[in-house]
Amino acid sequence: MRIADALFNWLQIRVVMEYRTDDRSASDTEIFFQQILREDHKVDQLHVQVDEDRYVVTYTIDDEPHEMNFDREAVDILLTAIQNEPKYAE
């Protein structure tokens, strides 16, 4: 999995996890993507900043700083889909 895809997937599920604090599946999935980022891409020190129209993810690899931007609407679509599905909205 490319690092951009792993970061995007991690960020999407992190947004869900932060909104649905009792959702164990979301928490487990967030841990899974963190593991992929750490083990496959050597990512450390993940931080997220939310702007009006984007998420800015900063991280380090071998102590070198990196930054990746993601469209806020694209990231939030998973949470929106969950909220719009009555079976999962509780």
User: Model confidence over 67-76: pLDDT tens digits?
Assistant: 999 999 999 9
Asked, for residue 38, whether it belongs to a domain, the answer is yes
Return the SS3 of 59.
strand
Query: Which structural domain range is residue 46 located in?
Result: 3-84
Tell me how far the alpha carbon of residue 55 is from its chain's centroid.
10
User: Model confidence over 13-36: pLDDT tens digits?
Assistant: 999 999 989 989 999 999 999 999
Return the SS3 of 74.
helix
Give the chain's length.
Answer: 90
Asked, for residue 90, whether it belongs to a domain, the answer is no
Q: How many structural domains is the chain composed of?
A: 1
pTM of the model as a whole: 0.90
Asked, for residue 89, whether it belongs to a domain, the answer is no
Q: What is the side-by-side order of every strand in the sheet holding 43-50? A: 43-50, 54-61, 64-71
